[in-house]
Amino acid sequence: MRGKLLLRRLGWRLAAGAGVMWGAATFAFVTLHVTSGDIALVTVSANGSDPTEAVLQEVRRQYGLNLPLWRQYVDYLWKLLHGNLGQSYQQHIPVTSAIGMQLVPTLELAGAAAVAAVVLAVTVAVLTAKRRSWVRAITTGTELVLASMPTFVVGLLLLIVFGLELDVLPISGNQGWQSLVLPALTLALPISAVLAQVLQAQLEEVLEQPFILTARARGMREMSVRLRHALRHAAIQLVTMSGYVIGSLLGGAVIVESLFNRQGLGQIMLASTTDKDIPLVTGVILFAALAYVVVNILVDLAYTLIDPRVVTT
Amino acid sequence: MTAIEALETDGHVRLGATSALDPAPLAAGPDEPSLLAPPGATGVGTGPAKRRSRAWLANTPPTVLLASTYLLVLVVAAAVPGLLAPHNPLIISTEPPFIHPFHSWTYLLGTDQDGRDMLSRIIYGARPSLEMGLGATAMGVAGGTTLGVVAGLAGGFVESVIMRVIDVVLAIPALLLALVVIALMGTGTTDALCAVGVASVPAYARMIRAQTHVVRKTAYVEAATALGARRVAVIWRHVVPNAIKPVLVLATLGVGTAIGYGASLSFLGLGTQPPAAEWGSMLANGIQYINNDWVMVLIPGLAVTMTVLTVTVFGRDLRRRSEGRARI
């Protein structure tokens, strides 16, 4: 029974995810076509040549740009399904390989930042929820400042302190784990501040519940009560923040990679925005939407593990 | 941070696992501002003005007073920068460059590489920041209200289509969405403002739609309809104002977020262009000299952070009041 319900839930999530991806693809198609100017002209003249009308006609035929719009849309979706995101105007390579080349450094950065953010948030929240008022005042204040600080300011402060004054960590490049520390921390700190705020509020609510009193009455130690009983309930709230986290990671990557001069998707996004390289821009957007959908499905599965009640209702 | 995030932070709207499908993320819970009370009925009593202002002070934490003072200075700086700034922010002077802060009485915060007064540049930077914060938020609220009210009132197929489109757009990180708008429009102050505004539309639309659903079922709307008021009149006089009101309080927090985004875009070289005095682009300029002297980076960085922070503190207090909660 439970397995069946779980499967049905997963099926619905997959269908919804596919729907979002179809919408994102449509958005990408519309973006490509509202671009002012002739796509054929942009494609050919990116390398500085001045093509004749005959050449343009040939390019239009070659890329199917002379077909009616609905045919182009169907063709676009069809190619997308086969992993073809088109050709970058500026780099003259397929968008998929442009993204593929830069994928790993950004995944490293985002992964490290996500882990750091969750660990920091959970530690701070578990240690400080319902503690003495001055402890709470300090953490609340720090969280507020960190959550308000734009990512580039966080990064610059870390860069100044650890990179320049103390000179213990490299401030740019992609070499080794040392160069990952400051960028990952920059991404992680604002996220962890937001997560800690939410988790703390949730923990304080849960710690008021009767079952916590029962656990304490059984002689359970405070830390065990917090970690084994309260945290599990509070974590549900954390799980629903995954959309915010993935958005901050990918959006923040643009700023962090630029600031620390790291290679990655963020740099691609920034360069293609400045160059008006729309196929590459929409490619990164589609990738971001895909990441959001996949993470949401995974998180939904995690949700059913943390709180078995959600499957049956 | 986006408007969505700022609002989410405070536990009001939550995206993610459940919300991709869940059509009503912002149901009016017990801690929502009461929509049943007629507008204007929640004011303080009609006692003497003095007692009222004292009660207001007692209900205002010192941090909020500090934040309000800072915001007041900021608004003055944005309105009449010439009144506060001791120097012209743009003219390259023959004064020595790279004066450190607090080393000279004429240049209190020092000078940059061209001998321009840092303090004056910071003061002149208030206007683009506030314009960005207010303009982008206004755009987001206006767009969100249109979509949200139409979706909430039309219902059925129209509502499904609008909400599914919003689901799709919310799957794209706000900063990346802003970059798409810039890639299509170009770089500059206005383009960056539009980009941040457009990127915040979906979150506001979602909130307004949920509020529209709540408001249209209230007693006063039903009463107006029963009394035979025309549909258009009911929508304009009752539904729209009452659906927007609670969202406007949350939009205060969105102003801070938009300021942060605007500075980020200028920092990336996509917003306000140098030599204009704007905090994000001042920071980007300072980075070139960071190895010798990081103070030119620190000052605009602090200015942005202080501004976003004070707007957040102010916005949270406003929300607390609108919910009728006591100060903590």
Query: What digits encode the pLDDT tens for the residues A243-297?
Result: 888 888 999 999 999 998 888 999 999 998 988 888 899 999 999 999 999 988 8
pLDDT band at residue A55 using 50, 70 and 90 as cut-offs:
confident
- pLDDT, average across residues B71-81: 88
Segment 239-298 of chain A within 8 Å of chain B by CB: 239-244, 246-248, 250-252, 254-255, 258, 269-270, 272-274, 276-278, 281-282, 284-285, 288-289, 292-293, 296
Q: Considering just the CA atoms, what is the radius of gyration of chain B in Å?
A: 23
Interface residue A27 vs chain B (CB under 8 A): yes
Cα(B328)–Cα(B317) distance, integer angstroms? 10
Mean pLDDT of chain B: 79
Cα(A129)–Cα(B328) distance, integer angstroms? 15
Distances (CA, A) of B327 to A230, A299, B45, B71, B318: 26, 36, 18, 21, 11
C-beta of residue B272 within 8 angstroms of C-beta of residue B128: yes
At residue B42, does pLDDT exceed 70?
Answer: no
pLDDT band at residue A46 using 50, 70 and 90 as cut-offs:
low
Interface test with B, best of A242, A244, A258, A303 (most B CBs within 10 A): A244
* Cβ-defined contact of A252 to B175 (cutoff 8 Å): yes
Residue B31's pLDDT is 36
Max Cα distance, chain B (Å): 75
Q: Which residue has the higher pLDDT, A113 or B53?
A: A113
pLDDT digits (tens, 9 = 90+) for B166-178: 989 989 999 999 9
- pLDDT, average across residues B104-132: 82
To the nearest 10 degrees (0 to 180), the angle between helices A178-206 and A151-158 is: 120
Residue B16's pLDDT is 33
Give the range among A102-111, B110-119, B134-143, B289-298 with minimum mean pLDDT. Answer: B110-119
Dihedral (CA of B162, B142, A285, A11) sign: negative
Supply the ipTM of this predicted assembly. Answer: 0.87
Residue B327's pLDDT is 55
C-beta of residue B204 within 8 angstroms of C-beta of residue B3: yes
Residue A48's pLDDT is 56
The residue of chain A nearest to residue B175, with distances taken between CA atoms, is A251
Three-state SS annotation for B110-178? CECCCCCEHHHHHHHCHHHHHHHHHHHHHHHHHHHHHHHHHHHHHCHHHHHHHHHHHHHHHCCCHHHHH
For residue B237, count other CB atoms closer than 10 A to its CB. Answer: 14
The residue of chain A nearest to residue B297, with distances taken between CA atoms, is A156
- pLDDT, average across residues B119-145: 92
Cα(A104)–Cα(A264) distance, integer angstroms? 8
Distances (CA, A) of A256 to A67, A271, B256: 42, 14, 20
Q: Who contacts A26 (Cβ-Cβ below 8 Å, separation ≥6)?
A: A73, B168
A274 interaction partners in chain B (CB closer than 8 Å): 187, 269-270
Distance (Å) from the alpha carbon of B253 to chain A's nearest alpha carbon? 10
C-beta of residue B308 within 8 angstroms of C-beta of residue B253: no
To the nearest 10 degrees (0 to 180), the angle between helices A2-34 and B174-185 is: 20
Q: Which residue has the higher pLDDT, A207 or B324?
A: A207
Residue A44's pLDDT is 63
Residue A193's pLDDT is 92
Residue A134, helix vs strand vs coil:
helix
Element (H, E) at A159: none
At residue A160, does pLDDT exceed 50?
Answer: yes
pLDDT band at residue A37 using 50, 70 and 90 as cut-offs:
low
Q: Which residue has the higher pLDDT, A274 or B38?
A: A274
A277 interaction partners in chain B (CB closer than 8 Å): 183
Interface test with B, best of A106, A152, A294 (most B CBs within 10 A): A152
pLDDT digits (tens, 9 = 90+) for B174-218: 999 999 999 888 888 889 999 999 999 999 999 999 999 999 888
Q: Where are the alpha helices (DSSP H) in chain B?
A: 3-9, 49-58, 62-79, 81-84, 118-124, 126-154, 156-170, 174-185, 189-216, 219-226, 231-234, 240-267, 279-287, 295-322
* Cβ-defined contact of B173 to A251 (cutoff 8 Å): yes
Residue A149, helix vs strand vs coil:
coil
At residue B306, does pLDDT exceed 90?
Answer: yes
